Amino acid sequence: MKKPLSNMHWTAQTTLIFLFKHLLAGVLGGCFFATLLLYYDVSKLWSMISSTSDGWLVVVMLYTGLCITFGSISMGWGIFSLAQERDDPPEDHMYY
């Protein structure tokens, strides 16, 4: 059985692995932040969640939202960190 990435070009493999690592770091950061919010009971969040019957739904929505947000930020940060700065603009460059 072939690996899913084995038939891709090496640059595509490298790019996907790079993005996945950043996504994983962001998701872990989002989970960590949500856990800290609940543990330290910021704005009585855990008290309100634990007093309702649908508290599990609120916790799932909190973790999902923060994981998506932090994962997206981390992937964007990774992409923008790839940019290379040029010392001088090209010779034929015109400023308007």
- The reported pTM is 0.80
Residues 6+ apart with CB under 8 A from 79: 19
Asked whether 59 and 49 are in contact (CB, 8 A), the reply is yes
Give the model confidence (pLDDT) of 30-53 as tens digits: 999 999 999 999 999 999 999 999
> To the nearest whole number, what is the mean pLDDT of the chain?
90
- Closest by alpha carbon to 27, among 75, 80, 95? 75
Q: Which residues contact 41 (CB under 8 A, 6 or more apart)?
A: 47
